[in-house]
Amino acid sequence: MLSLRLVTAAEPSAPILENIGGKGALDGSAVEYAALEGVAEANLRFGVSYEIAALQYCEDDSPPESIYRFFAFSIVERLATNQKFPAVE
Query: Is 71 inside any structural domain?
Result: yes
For 36, other C-beta atoms within 10 Å of its C-beta total 18
Query: Is 85 inside any structural domain?
Result: no
- Kindly tell me the sign of the dihedral angle through the C-alpha atoms of 43, 47, 53, 59: negative
The pTM of the full predicted model, rounded to 2 decimals, is: 0.88
Query: Is 56 inside any structural domain?
Result: yes
Query: Is 87 inside any structural domain?
Result: no
* pLDDT per position as a tens digit, 2-27: 899 999 876 667 788 888 877 878 89
Q: Give percent of the chain with pLDDT exceeding 90.
A: 57
* pLDDT per position as a tens digit, 21-40: 778 788 999 999 999 999 99
Domain residues for the domain of 57 are 2-80
Q: How many domains does the chain have?
A: 1
